[in-house]
């Protein structure tokens, strides 16, 4: 079967943040020092070689970029300064755009102007919608109860509609990832029973990201854990306990204590990531894509506006609380509208990749054992002379 190549693939990857991939001369140092590179997933050398050859279809179905945790050891050991770690990061951005069924991801990654325009448009439209709705059902001077500007039951319904749309887009993109990595151009297909047996890997890697421990520095793992803890905790509180969270102005410690812990974890982790990029500390701090900055800035604003809204409400300033709530909810919508198309989708794709990688490993191992097994041939019957 003929293999089609894209000689401009390297140039395209530069738009996603890749360094000069042509500098690599395949000494193998990167794969030798990587704590996660082992058969059948040998990276980043194999990925860089495929990029140089323009094997776009092969890269689109590759799972290896997601198995890289960007510890930076490969880039430190590269004698040509080809930055294989950042190349793997750019490949993950590129793959997100390939999984995205809407095509928005490639616009956001390739043009900061397109991403900024989309962010501003969603934010302004959400503010306008919330103000129009609030003015029609209540008063800006009433935060909760009869005549509330943004009643908790309406916001709860809005949250579920937003979550439903998010699940649809993420589901479609995750389904395309599954098709490309597990079905397309693969001779060995995994049986359903194997998917079921390994399904525990999804929550395990989602919550723990335990492979970070092999990178030597626990800092990235701790930051990631704080972000996931804060995000998941706030999601549970909002989806399941919104009325208790919004009621007040008294503090309900049974739910607000978890909200305070989640907010602190998110704020500290986000500020640590911002600082790393400002002072260029660590491998990821040295190379920052515009979408990384948008991710961090929106997350900071999201957390800060939530804290401000909560504080002014507890202090009894209901008008200010409603204004802060409108801003906060608009940032929430802006944040979630980018979720399936940019960096935050890593939180879904990486656990899926770990899950799929193990399923593929077992399928390949089973196929190899079956191929190596001796085949019984027909027995020859001797005849007496």
Rounded CA separation 309/314 (Å): 9
- Secondary structure of residue 371 in the 3-state scheme: helix
Query: How confident is the prediction along the chain (385 residues), in pLDDT tens digits per residue?
Result: 567 788 889 888 988 988 778 888 889 899 999 988 888 888 899 999 999 899 999 999 999 999 998 888 888 888 988 889 899 999 999 999 999 999 888 989 989 999 999 999 999 999 999 999 999 999 999 998 889 999 988 988 888 898 899 999 999 999 999 999 999 988 888 999 999 999 999 999 888 877 877 776 667 778 888 888 888 898 888 878 877 887 778 888 888 899 899 999 999 989 988 888 888 877 777 788 888 899 899 999 999 999 999 999 989 899 999 999 999 999 999 988 888 888 888 889 999 999 999 999 998 877 666 666 565 545 444 443 3
226 CB-near residues (< 8 Å, 6+ apart) = 265, 266, 268, 269
Domain spanning 9-99: which superfamily? Alpha-helical ferredoxin (1.10.1060.10)
Cis ω for the linkage preceding 28 (within 30 of 0):
no
What are the residue ranges spanned by the domains of the chain?
A: 9-99, 106-362
Rounded CA separation 96/270 (Å): 22
């Amino acid at each position: 079967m003929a293999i089609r190549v894209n000689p401009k693939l390297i140039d395209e990857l530069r738009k996603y943040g890749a360094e000069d991939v042509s500098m690599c001369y395949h000494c193998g140092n990167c794969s030798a020092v990587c704590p996660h590179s082992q058969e059948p997933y040998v990276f980043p050398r194999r990925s860089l070689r495929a990029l140089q050859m323009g094997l776009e279809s092969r890269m689109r179905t590759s799972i290896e970029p997601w198995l890289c945790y960007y510890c930076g050891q490969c880039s430190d050991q590269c004698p040509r300064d080809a930055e294989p770690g950042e190349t793997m990061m750019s490949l993950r951005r590129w793959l997100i755009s390939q999984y995205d069924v809407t095509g928005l991801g490639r616009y956001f990654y390739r043009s900061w102007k397109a991403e900024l325009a989309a962010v501003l448009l969603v934010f302004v439209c959400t503010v306008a919608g919330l103000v129009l709705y609030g003015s029609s059902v209540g008063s800006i001077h009433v935060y909760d109860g009869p005549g509330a500007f943004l009643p908790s039951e309406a916001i709860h319904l809005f949250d579920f509609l937003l979550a439903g749309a998010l699940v649809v887009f993420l589901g479609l993109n995750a389904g395309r990832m599954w098709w490309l990595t597990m079905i397309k151009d693969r001779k060995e297909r995994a049986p359903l029973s194997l998917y079921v047996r390994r399904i525990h890997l999804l929550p395990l890697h989602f919550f723990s990201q335990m492979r970070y421990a092999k990178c030597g520095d626990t800092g990235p793992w701790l930051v990631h854990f704080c972000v996931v803890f804060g995000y998941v905790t706030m999601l549970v509180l909002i989806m399941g306990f919104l009325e208790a969270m919004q009621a007040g102005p008294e503090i309900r410690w049974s739910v607000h204590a978890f909200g305070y812990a989640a907010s602190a974890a998110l704020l500290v982790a986000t500020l640590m990531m911002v600082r790393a990029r400002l002072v260029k500390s660590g491998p990821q701090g040295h190379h920052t894509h515009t979408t990384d900055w948008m991710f961090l800035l929106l997350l900071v604003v999201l957390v800060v506006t939530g804290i401000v809204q909560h504080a002014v409400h507890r202090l009894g300033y209901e008008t200010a609380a409603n204004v802060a709530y409108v801003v906060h909810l608009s940032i929430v919508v802006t944040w979630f509208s980018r979720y399936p198309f940019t960096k935050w989708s890593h939180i879904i794709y990486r656990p899926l990749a770990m899950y799929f990688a193990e399923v593929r490993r077992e399928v390949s191992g089973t196929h190899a054992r079956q191929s190596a097994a001796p085949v019984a041939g027909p027995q020859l019957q001797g005849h007496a002379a």
